[in-house]
Every structure is written in structure tokens, then in C-alpha cells.
Amino acid sequence: MKIRVKSGDSLWKYSRVFEIPLRLILDSNNLENPDQLMIGEQIQIPGYVTKSYTIKKGDTLWKLASWYGAPLDGILLLNDQNPFSLKPGEKVNIPIRVTWSLINPNQSYDYGTLAKDIRKILGVYPFIKQGLIGETVMGKPIPELVVGTGEKKVHMNGSFHANEWLTTTLIMKFVDDYARELTSSQQLSGVYLPVLYESTSLSLVPMVNPDGVDLVINGLPEEEPYRSLANEINNGNDQFSRWKANIRGVDLNNQYPAKWDVEAARKPTKPSPRNYPGKAPLTEPEAIAIADLTTRKNFDRALAFHSQGEVIFWGFEGLEPPESEILVSEFSRLSGYLPIRYVDSFAGYKDWFIQDFRKPGFTVEIGKGENPLPVSQFNEIYQNTIGIFLSSLYM
């Protein structure tokens, strides 16, 4: 929601009237100094949308404030009319606090849905920042969302594997709930959020593999040569529910230089719907984009969400720091997921992160069943994993 600055306005006044932390208003407008206001400029107020209302006979701003549960001073800030001389037919703007979810988890979550939901979230919560970390094989931009201003740097990603797209829905639900409660109740699952926002910078890449996700959900793309290539790799089968790879048949979570040669020796030797590690490590643009982001930002911990199994993998070759065991014990306590230190599988993002940075890295396998997991599992998965999301920020 945007407000045009009038004489006597201040960011402290906006914060008080709309009950929004001043820090969020500053970050929503890329301001450092709360005194940086000019009459006539527009200021974004996070967590609100504007409803246009046509005045009827007998209406007053006091009545409208009561009907809509809106702050009266907020209505006055948003409008230029004299509150004592409203005329029927006039339009006034009502500030409505967003108390509902912007994310619909009860749907197949393809790249188009992700792009649409990111636009909605950025429109309501402009303190969230978006960046693009690279492009897919087909040229789709891979978005990153950043929430928070703190020194602790936490990274989460989803949909490395195409048929595990429910992890993208999960991450988007996390960020939507986090942002909404930051601007309203300021608590989520009993955790006070402003402290997390100011102490942690959270990086989210909700969909590492957009081409693959779209293939699983929507079928073969129209564009050549990708249509023919995916069709050939899938042996002409028009069902792609078992497809994990990117559009050219490389498994992105077998692409990292962490015992890659061991995986390559026992995995498919040509493009495949699943498990082919490529001709060498880091040949695929999606895997490179995540590696470059991780190197550039030097995260303090990283969580890769996959499905399925309700387990958390947290070790690699004894290189994980002692902090990892403390964290995974808390993740397990909050989620009920089983922590597993070592597994005979290598070359994943988590493995490379631990190996190269010697910091806590985790693969969180959500839900149980056959991928793609049904959306009917989503609510249970969310309740089980919200504690992992929050504790990764506050511990």
C-alpha cells in the first residue's frame, strides 16, 4: 500500500498508526534515515492493501473504520477528503491489513505459479528483496528472495528435483507466513519474529529446477530442441511423474564436486529422467547458479528441501562441524524427522556445502510416499517442518 506524504507526516507516525515496525517501513522504501521524507513522495506501507469504497448517505469515516477494522488515522492519512463533509458518490481508500495467506498450497505448483506468487508477495511485503541468480537451460530466470537484515546468513532451496515440487510450495508458504506475521502479530508458532528479521539474512531459492518442474506438471514444452530432447530421454513416454532431472536429463543434485567420481561410476552414463550426474561436475546452469550464489554470499548454514522420507541428512565424510549435530537434534525434536548422519550417496549440494565451507548443511526429506507427493499431505508437512524453518533462523 502506498501513501503520499503530507505536511506533518513521519515514518514514526506511519509505524504507530499502522502498527508496523519502523524497520520494515524503512526497508520497504530502501531508506536508512527515518527523516528522509519529502512532501508529495510516495511511501510503501508493508502488510496492507487498499480497498476503494464509494460513500453512501450517512457514511462517516468513523463508521468505515469500524466496519473494516481499519485504523481511523490510517484512513485520514490515505485520503485527502475533509472527514466532516463526505459526499455520497465520493470514493475513499480504506487500508486493509493483510491477515490471509497469499499462497494457495492446494494446487500443482509450476514456474508460472511461482512467478505470480512472488509478484503478489513483493507487492504486499516490499521489505522482501528479489534477485535473479542465473537462468535455466531453457532461459527461465531463477529467482532468489531475501528476507532480513542480520549478519547470520541462512540459505534454503527447493525443487532441485523436478518431481519434488511440493518443496517449492513449502518454501513459499514459509516466507508468506513469516512476512505476514512480521507485519501483524509479530509471532509465528510462538516465536517473536522481529528479532529474527534483524539478526538473520534469509536467502530462499524456491525452485532450483523450473524447466524440470514444468515438465513434470505440464508435460513436454513447445520449444525445440527441448521438446524432442525430453521426449527422447523419456523414451517417448508422455508421463513425466518420475522425472527428477533438468530438461536435458542431468540430475542437479548429483552435480557437485564432492566425491562426484564415485557417484558417476555407479549412475547412468547418459541423460536420463533421474540420477545421471552429467559428464562432469557443475556442467548445468541451474547447479552452477546455486554454487555461485553460495560462494558469493558465504552462507552460515544451508538447508536443501527434498522429498520424501521424513529424514534429515546432516553429515559428509566427517567434515561437518559440531554445530551440525546440535542443530539437527533440534530440527528432529521439532519435526519428528529422523536425523541420519551418513548415507552412501554423494555429489549433492549438501555434501559440497559441508566439504567446501565446513559449515552446517542439511538435506530435509519432507513427507512420505511416492513423488510427486500429493498436495493432500501439505498441511501435515507444513506443521511438521515450520519448526525447522524457524529454528534454523534463531539458533
32 noted as active-site residue = no
Residues in CB range of 363: below 8 A, 6 or more apart: 304, 306, 312, 313, 314, 348, 349, 350
Question: Which candidate, 118, 296, 307, 351, places its Cα nearest to that of 213?
Answer: 307
d(CA 100, CA 290): 32
With cell 480504506, the residue in question is 94
> What Å distances lie between residue 386 and 32, 256, 262, 383, CA to CA?
31, 28, 35, 6
DSSP 297-320: HT-SEEEEEEESSSEEE--STT-S
Cβ proximity of 308 and 367 under 8 Å: yes
Question: Which candidate, 140, 164, 87, places its Cα nearest to that of 368?
Answer: 164
372: preceding bond cis by omega (within 30 degrees)? yes
DSSP state of 162: G
Q: Find the catalytic residue in 19, 222, 365, 380.
A: 365
- Active-site residues, by number, are 365
